[in-house]
């Protein structure tokens, strides 16, 4: 294979992996700019989440005794459970409003995620409040992901031009997963500074 053929093949693989079939004709013109901004945002969010999770582990304590590790594991699970319950309660109260203003809910979702990262980082300063802070942060994350998923469904519907919502959604998940992996790598790099 020549360098040109390899480049064309790489572009074809990228297109098949990340773009809906018959792109750009199968989606609205807003699809590509939104996707690029989402990729950048998701990558930086993933890096922030890596760093805030690292803060949680440091705040929870790095001791190695069996009983302390078991207590840390139970606290971690409890934090997740409380956070998930908060997400359910939020959806039951506000879920009916998600279709009204997609941009507003998307903005609130990202703001809530940023707030959750800040709360997680605060556990370093207040480790005695770990369960409260970490549960609150996890609740904010669950609410964010719920709002983001709900608004994303509306966004995908607006992008679809050929009854291809599932294709757009699938490619969006692939892009999000890639940005998450890139962000984790970025977070690891930043944590070593």
- Is residue 120 in some structural domain? yes
Query: Is residue 167 over pLDDT 80?
Result: yes
Q: What pLDDT, on a 0 to 100 scale, did the predictor assign at position 57?
A: 84
- Is residue 25 in some structural domain? no
- Is residue 2 in some structural domain? no
- Is residue 133 in some structural domain? yes
Peptide bond into 141 cis (omega under 30): no
Query: Is residue 62 over pLDDT 70?
Result: no
Residue 89 banded pLDDT, cuts 50, 70, 90: very high
- Full residue range of the structural domain in which residue 177 is found: 31-191
Q: How many domains does the chain have?
A: 1
Q: What pLDDT, on a 0 to 100 scale, did the predictor assign at position 74?
A: 84
What pLDDT digit, counting tens, does each position of 113-141 carry?
999 999 999 999 999 999 999 999 999 99
Return the biggest CA–CA distance within the chain: 61
What pLDDT digit, counting tens, does each position of 7-55 carry?
999 999 999 999 999 999 999 999 999 999 999 999 999 999 999 998 8
- Is residue 181 in some structural domain? yes
How far is 146 from 111, CA to CA, in rounded Å? Answer: 13
Q: What percent of the chain has pLDDT over 70?
A: 97
- Is residue 11 in some structural domain? no
């Amino acid at each position: 294979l020549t360098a040109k053929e390899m480049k064309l093949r790489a572009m074809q693989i990228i297109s098949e992996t990340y773009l809906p079939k018959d792109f750009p004709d199968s989606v609205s013109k807003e699809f590509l700019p939104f996707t690029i901004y989402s990729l950048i945002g998701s990558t930086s969010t993933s890096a922030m989440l890596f760093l805030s999770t690292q803060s949680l582990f440091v705040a929870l304590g790095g001791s190695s005794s069996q009983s302390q590790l078991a207590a840390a594991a139970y606290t971690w699970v409890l934090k997740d459970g409380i956070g998930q319950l908060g997400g359910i309660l939020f959806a039951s109260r506000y879920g009916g409003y998600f279709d009204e203003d997609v941009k507003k809910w998307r903005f609130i979702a990202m703001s809530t995620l940023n707030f959750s990262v800040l709360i997680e980082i605060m556990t370093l300063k207040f480790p005695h409040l770990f369960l409260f802070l970490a549960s609150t942060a996890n609740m904010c994350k669950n609410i964010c992901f719920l709002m983001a998923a709900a608004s994303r469904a509306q966004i995908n519907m607006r992008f679809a031009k050929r009854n291809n919502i599932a294709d757009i959604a699938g490619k969006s998940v692939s892009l999000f997963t890639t940005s998450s992996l890139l962000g984790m790598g970025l977070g690891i790099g930043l944590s070593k500074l």
